[in-house]
Structure 1
Amino acid sequence: MQTQEILRLLRLPELGDLGQFFRSLSATTLVSVGALAAVLAYWFTHRPKALQPPCNLLMQSEEVEDSGGARRSVIGDGPQLLTHYYDDARTMYQVFRRGLSISGNGPCLGFRKPKQPYQWLSYQEVADRAEFLGSGLLQHNCKPSTDQFIGVFAQNRPEWIIAELACYTYSMVVVPLYDTLGPGAIRYIIRTADISTVVVDKPQKAVLLLEHVERKETPGLKLIIIMEPFEEALKDRGQECGVVIKSMQAVEECGQQNHQAPVPPKPSDLSIVCFTSGTTGNPKGAM
């Protein structure tokens, strides 16, 4: 009586009622319930484990002695700067390849239009496109060397990262260019870094670069690669001043047809040069 009273208070069915309920189910339903229980049990025992942070997230830095308040990361041993965290991720190229490996070719680059769901490129899709673009650059007189500087003049988007990774894949150096730099600073950077190839997102930026060449301000610029569609007249204008205009898709297709094995950089190699806006003189490059 006491057990029945407890079950009644808890509003739980009695064991006899449960038995009657299961006996009323068909064999197919019972098999389905058993299969669902097995799947749930397997998921609970094999579900992904949460990644452990490399340090206490509430205490990520510590004050450096006799520094007047300077702080350093607690990751690493001693006051030396941390050069890498994983032994197989010492360069930006290796960092990406590690992501490809540990993610199991998971989603890599996401993008969306306003009020639309995200679309994703997988790690392998990004890796393939980077190799195709990099191989295409090699077919257009670029060298797999840290002496080869490639300008990227675009807003944040998947193609920006693909262009950056293409450079890392073949040991070339990325030089970001920004609208906020202004035409004078962009012209100065192209000349100073001896940039012969620039990847842009919009045709308008290609026009801006062509104007510099037409005024003989950046005579070393020979190739402009455009991410978005453009009119054929732009190619003709480029040809008149000795600049080849190509779509990014065309360069990737060229690289796919003439694929070259990656030429990964060494940890000591230069990977990127970021220039300042030059508000107090000419822009300065941080390597």
Structure 2
Amino acid sequence: MVYFVRVNIAVSRAYVLVNTGVWGLIGLETPNALVTLDQIFDIGLSGGRDRPFLGERPIVSKNPLKYANRYVWQTYGEVDVRRRYVGSALSTLFKSGELGGGEFDAVGVWSPNRPEWQIIDIALQSYNKVSVSLYDTLGKDSVEFIINHAHLTVVFATSEHIPTLLKLAPNVPILKRIVCIDDLTQEASKVLLEWSLAQNVQIQELRELEAYGKANLTDPVRAKPETIASICYTSGTTSNPKGVILTHGNLALATQSNLYGLQLPEEAVLISYLPLAHIYERVCELCVTSIGGRIGYFTGDPLRLLEDSQLLRPNFFPSVPRVLNRVYQAAMAGGNVPGFKGNLFRKAIQVKLDKLHATGDATHIFWDKLVFRKIQAVLGGQIALMSSGSAPISAEVMDFLKIAFACEVTEGYGMTENCATTAKAWPNDPTSSGTVGPPQAVNEVKLIDVPAMGYTSEDKPNPRGELCVRGANCFKVYFKDEKNTKDTVDEEGWLRTGDVAEIDKVGRIKIIDRVKNIMKLSQGEYVALEKIENLYSSSPAVAQIYIHGDSLQSYLLAVIVPDPVQLSGIASKVFGKKIVPEDVQELVAACKDERVNQAILAAITKEAKKNGLKGFETIRRIHLSPEPFSVEDGTMTPTMKIRRKDAYNKFKAELDHLYTLGEPSSSRL
């Protein structure tokens, strides 16, 4: 059976549609809808050429590295001029045959977040070129695959990536030109030029390409909704990345849909630190551009993110659970202390939570000034909207962030294949935490029964099943990948997400499981490993977790990378001496100590009981690792998902040893 839902925007409620062929409430035919990306930039530009648009902190010293204590801005008008220069240069080079030859006029971009990334992308949107992002942490093999697969004859890259591209040159003969986004020193330019000539690749700086475009100026080419805008490669957990073909219409209508319920002040400021190679951040920045707002780029160093925020004072803070959980844990650790200060903190939380749950209002004139002002100042004191995406986040953390920052904190859900747009919580919904809200205006959704996992549309109190979505924002095909396309999109345009969802009585979606990554334990019980990992991740003691099961065993194991602050506190109690989070040697020793191991196991077991995990879903033994899972060692994808096979191979000896110890008695839990 299937269960269909759409949202009626006018009355903010959901209703059931059975066996319907309708699409979402907005589409290409909707009056005044955004349908192309160049249209979005034109709207931003129409607000005034002198309005600030893209900002960054200039470097004032390279040794030691130091940034200015201010943001410097490029205006909409200045960006307009630069996108015309870049676009004109590329158009001329593709027309002359110096570049191109593939199915599309594809252009690679390999750079961390910075103004030039956005300028290049806007140029590509404006001149009918197809952008292809290379993840900053994607890895050599995937970069080589994408260059060949997408037929990239030109790649814009920052200077640190150019040696990698030149080393790859023999394996990517398609690549003809590298445009260096940075200004090179005379010495570096000479070395790279000689190297590139030997590899039959041309190198030039961005400013040189812009000068060439200025000398060969052409008008922008108006896009159509069906014009391909981007091939966005999704990181695979087991194989090569899949190239999601996204049109101007897909991305523009996703932007239009996200503008519903978006509450931001005039000339809103977004802080850009989530990777622009990922679709979530790109859509957030498109939203801000469409209202004539500003985008301030962080320095690139996560350790400076708070400093960047305090200087920029953003209104919009797009984020992910791994960042927001740390904000929550730090705030709770600082406020939830013994004595009068702690009592005041707990009182403020309770009063504001009661008000939030009763009215949806996250503000309080007294407690915001007395207790929460310092927390708000950490991110600049002007946050109006904080969003969470990419992974589940607990309702407890969401509610705390709402009352602590006295702003709208919304969780959404989407994937690369639908431009990060499926569902989003509505503003001022007092009970939305723990859900990702109703379907967005551009979508309809349905649930398909998953009998093997016990999920059906007839479940009580709410229907459950695999979430499927369709709408004008959804992709239609993976580039050169018929098999994965057929596995993901059916003939009616339904996109299978692979996530199991529950839809509540008011039409809000809650992601509860994954169709994949389930396994059967020896006693015949099925366990969903990702779901359990997400629940355990809410424990303050856990920075990262990989859960492992063996079908010949009756219980689960885990590799846990402990949070350094929590680990130092536990180790201090166990060893009877003060250990600070910065003392790496002591923390490494703590991870090897059985007493510390049992203390962390006890802490996460409390989390399991709080979340109602069944006995067979509970972790029974753990291995503590001071070394985090990472993209560099191959145990994580660039989107921070565990590569299960590689994680197991890394810790195979430790996990196999834990199983030789036998199942612990329940009294130890």
TM-score (norm 1): 0.68
C-alpha distance in structure 2 between counterparts of 1:95 and 1:85, whole Å: 16
TM-superposed CA distance for 1:105, in Å, is: 4.0
Q: Which stretch has the larger CA shift, 191-200 or 221-230?
A: 221-230
Alignment equivalent of 2:167, drawn from 190, 203, 211? 211
C-alpha distance in structure 2 between counterparts of 1:273 and 1:196, whole Å: 15
Residues 174/62 of structure 1: CA separation in 2 closer, same or farther (3 Å cut) = farther
C-alpha distance in structure 1 between counterparts of 2:29 and 2:110, whole Å: 29
Alignment equivalent of 1:99, drawn from 26, 44, 50? 44
Q: What corresponds to 2:221 in structure 1?
A: 263
In structure 2, give the amino acid aligned to 1:124: G
The answer to whether the Cα contact below 8 Å between 1:146 and 1:270 also exists between their aligned partners in 2 is no
Residues 125/84 of structure 1: CA separation in 2 closer, same or farther (3 Å cut) = farther
C-alpha distance in structure 1 between counterparts of 2:54 and 2:30, whole Å: 23
Confirm whether residue 283 of structure 1 aligns to residue 241 of structure 2. yes
TM-superposed CA distance for 1:106, in Å, is: 1.5
Bigger relative contact order (CA 8 A; separation at least 6): 1
Q: Which stretch has the larger CA shift, 187-196 or 145-154?
A: 145-154
Q: How is 1:103-118 mapped onto 2 (pairs within 5 angstroms)? A: 103=48, 105-113=50-58, 114=67, 116-118=69-71
- Unaligned 5+ segments in structure 1 are 1-54, 68-76
> CA deviation digits over 1:24-78, x for unaligned, max 9?
xxxxxxxxxxxxxxxxxxxxxxxxxxxxxxx79xx9x7546369xxxxxxxxx97
> CA deviation digits over 1:135-172, x for unaligned, max 9?
122333346x9810000000010000111011111100
Identity %: 31
Q: What corresponds to 2:113 in structure 1?
A: 156
TM-superposed CA distance for 1:179, in Å, is: 2.4
SS of the equivalent of 1:271 reads strand
C-alpha distance in structure 2 between counterparts of 1:93 and 1:157, whole Å: 20
C-alpha distance in structure 2 between counterparts of 1:259 and 1:246, whole Å: 19
TM-score (norm 2): 0.31
Residues 105/281 of structure 1: CA separation in 2 closer, same or farther (3 Å cut) = same
Confirm whether residue 139 of structure 1 aligns to residue 92 of structure 2. yes
> CA deviation digits over 1:104-154, x for unaligned, max 9?
5421111124452111111111011011011122333346x9810000000
Higher strand share: 2
Confirm whether residue 65 of structure 1 aligns to residue 9 of structure 2. no
SS of the equivalent of 1:152 reads strand
In structure 2, give the amino acid aligned to 1:116: N
In structure 1, give the amino acid aligned to 2:71: Y
The answer to whether the Cα contact below 8 Å between 1:212 and 1:218 also exists between their aligned partners in 2 is yes
Q: What corresponds to 1:119 in structure 2?
A: 72
C-alpha distance in structure 2 between counterparts of 1:104 and 1:222, whole Å: 35
The answer to whether the Cα contact below 8 Å between 2:49 and 2:75 also exists between their aligned partners in 1 is no
SS of the equivalent of 2:138 reads helix
SS of the equivalent of 1:272 reads strand
The answer to whether the Cα contact below 8 Å between 2:49 and 2:77 also exists between their aligned partners in 1 is no
Higher helix share: 1
SS of the equivalent of 1:179 reads coil
The answer to whether the Cα contact below 8 Å between 1:146 and 1:269 also exists between their aligned partners in 2 is no
The answer to whether the Cα contact below 8 Å between 1:185 and 1:282 also exists between their aligned partners in 2 is yes
Confirm whether residue 176 of structure 1 aligns to residue 130 of structure 2. no
The answer to whether the Cα contact below 8 Å between 1:196 and 1:220 also exists between their aligned partners in 2 is yes
C-alpha distance in structure 2 between counterparts of 1:64 and 1:281, whole Å: 39
In structure 2, give the amino acid aligned to 1:90: V
SS of the equivalent of 2:192 reads helix
Q: How is 1:33-52 mapped onto 2 (pairs within 5 angstroms)? A: none
Q: Which stretch has the larger CA shift, 260-269 or 164-173?
A: 260-269
Number of aligned residues:
217
The answer to whether the Cα contact below 8 Å between 1:132 and 1:252 also exists between their aligned partners in 2 is yes
SS of the equivalent of 1:121 reads strand
Residues 171/146 of structure 1: CA separation in 2 closer, same or farther (3 Å cut) = farther
The answer to whether the Cα contact below 8 Å between 2:108 and 2:156 also exists between their aligned partners in 1 is yes
C-alpha distance in structure 2 between counterparts of 1:274 and 1:122, whole Å: 28
Q: What corresponds to 1:36 in structure 2?
A: none
Q: How is 1:25-40 mapped onto 2 (pairs within 5 angstroms)? A: none
Q: How is 1:70-81 mapped onto 2 (pairs within 5 angstroms)? A: 79-80=24-25
Q: Which stretch has the larger CA shift, 236-245 or 189-198?
A: 236-245
Q: What corresponds to 2:35 in structure 1?
A: 90
Q: What corresponds to 2:663 in structure 1?
A: none
Residues 66/152 of structure 1: CA separation in 2 closer, same or farther (3 Å cut) = same
Instruction: Tell which structure's C-alpha radius of gyration is larger.
Output: 1
The answer to whether the Cα contact below 8 Å between 1:84 and 1:90 also exists between their aligned partners in 2 is no
